[in-house]
Structure 1
């Protein structure tokens, strides 16, 4: 099978695409891929590093206010469609899938106009502008949250989950702990705010360091590269608690996650897919700075089902932070219940589900 994939802008759009590709590669080395992204996006580094053929188009997103830049964006979209059609005609894919970001707009639209089977993958509980636009043209819409189904034509929607959930399965949590410098016989909490970190979470942790140092559990605190030096200076002032390990970034996150008893993080779709697949209790601090406040809605899908506690950023302070962690880490019954509820939500076979949708589409198209 020949598969064209497009997704860009943030890791939340790119990592599910890469996870899907890796899952498909397991089935057969004969499957071929073409990834279409933007030259300046994160995907231009991540995709070639995986030895996946990569081509780029030039496209920008729409401004939400009236702006002359939107006229330029329309012109770039039309050129992006022409460029995408040329690339797709050369590659001749059996199916095209968009995993999010504005680069998907011209790519998936071009595929639909060329009568190539098309799918969009919506990771969040509230879809973005690009996927809302594309939903009129694609054959299938794969969603990760039941809440997203209401935004799309019901006859096109299929619930698959996020392919990243499949990648964390079978990882060695003990090895993950050791790689991060954690003990294997002490309960562990992972605190992080995404690849770049989150200043409000960092501030709450800094103010809590001394108290965290007295707890019967250990903490792995990932600051993000931008904040690491400042956080380390603050940690030096309180004596660097031995049970708190501070790192700028974790490269083997699936392995580390597998060894955690609790995760404290933002509520990005990829993170939630991973932790529910593993059944890890969580405290979610959704970012209020994202489109349509979708992270809070993502978080509520877990907290309303007893799989997570939600702590809004406006309520975040050292006291609330410590109390939230203690409530879970010091009560095994709560941990057990949250784990059970998280596993009910998780979709560990999500990559396989999405691949099956792709195969069904191509079979239908070849009849």
Structure 2
């Protein structure tokens, strides 16, 4: 039997790229001869991250629509037409058996052309608020894998499968890694650790907050493992001390999670899914600068189940200090939040999504 040929399309942010890579690797594990091609947006991070993961990628000249008036918006129709034409050529040359979209503007043209050619297609929606690309594609694809309940507000119920979001395999099991984590990051096992993660590029508001609250961390006697993001590292690297580790990027998130007693994070879909699996007390500080404020909606879905604390950027001055003090001094509350969050985890997401892909390919589970 000839090898399967699979196209995965999505990108713009890590939240769209890493799930696609995780899905591809699971398909590859089950069907080693599969041929893969990723399709992303030119000059975005997928053009670097996908080849690093060992997969080929083609780039489309496509960008999202800006929320403010800009010259880029005037170029959008021309870029869309160009991307649709290139997508058609990619599909004609590669001849995929199935196409998978993980969201972001890059996946729109490719999936649109694929469903027009009757190629089986699946989309994966990571957020509790569906993105515009996936909403536009929903009527045409065969399967829609989601991570939250009540997604029938956006998609046809008959196509929805609740799978959760794919996460990095190394974070599925962090038990027993705490000592290794302390050694790697030169942390003391005698003091509690706060892990701060604002994304690979960084989060301006979170970095400002941490820099201003270093006296509070010192007063509470806690250590800080602080990922500033590469855009902000130079600004904050001099704040490193015996109790504060400042890093541009954390490359072993399993060890970082293992070291933490409390986590401060944005609320992107991938981060939320990982943190549910990790099951540590978390303060979510959602970015307000994302489409439809979807990070706040993601965090609210966890807060509603008493699985995390949500603090909006506009309320940090009023709420952060007291929230952190409660978590650092009340072990029972930390454990309660962590346990409630872990109940929301969907650790088999990648397997479940690939099960659905295999149905579209017309094969058994293959596990």
Q: Is the TM-score greater than 0.5?
A: yes
Per-residue displacement from partner, 1:88-107 (whole Å, max 9, x unpaired)?
A: 23222221111111110111
Does the CA-based 8 Å contact 2:42-2:62 persist in structure 1? Answer: no
For residues 70 and 207 of structure 2, the distance between their equivalents in structure 1, rounded to whole angstroms, comes to 35
Cα distance, 1:336–1:63 mapped onto 2, change above 3 Å: closer
1:301-316 pair list within 5 angstroms: 301-316=301-316
Residue of structure 1 aligned with 2:17, choices 8, 14, 17: 14
Compare 258-267 and 341-350 and name the one that shifted more.
258-267
Higher deviation after alignment, 93-102 or 79-88: 79-88
Name the structure 1 match of 2:296.
296
- The 1:13–1:209 alpha-carbon spacing in structure 2 relative to 1, beyond 3 Å, is same
* Deviation for aligned residue 1:14: 0.6
- Give matches, 1:85-104, under 5 Å: 85-104=88-107
- Give me the whole-angstrom Cα distance separating, in 2, the residues matched to 1:167 and 1:81: 36
> Gaps (5+ residues) in structure 2?
none
Mapped partners of 1:68, 1:138: distance in 2: 32
Distance of 1:66 and 1:193 partners within structure 2: 28
Question: Is residue 223 of structure 2 the alignment partner of residue 224 of structure 1?
Answer: no
SS in 1 for 2:231: helix
The alpha-carbon distance between structure 1 residues 184 and 4, as it changes in their structure 2 partners (threshold 3 A), is farther
SS in 2 for 1:322: helix
Distance 1:165 1:151 in 2: 27
- The residue that corresponds to 1:118 in the other structure is 121
Moved more, 248-257 or 126-135: 248-257
How many Å separate the matches in 2 of 1:174 and 1:278?
Answer: 16
Partner deviation per Cα, 1:194-240 (whole Å, 9 max, x = no partner): 2222222222212221231232432212222232233244x37xxx3
- Judge conservation of contact 2:220–2:328 (CA < 8 Å) in 1: no
Q: How does 1:164-313 map to 2 (within 5 A)?
A: 164=167, 166-171=169-174, 172-233=177-238, 235=239, 240=241, 242-313=242-313
CA distance in 2, matches of 1:182, 1:67: 47
Q: Distance in 2 between matches of 1:174 and 1:24?
A: 33
Q: Give the TM-score of the pair, scaled to structure 2.
A: 0.90
- Where in structure 1 do 4 or more consecutive aligned residues deviate above 6 Å? 65-68
Q: Deviations over 1:3-31 (max 9, x none)?
A: 11001111111111112222333323222
RMSD between superposed Cα atoms in Å: 2.3
Q: TM-score, normalised by structure 1?
A: 0.90
Structure 1, unaligned runs of 5 or more:
none
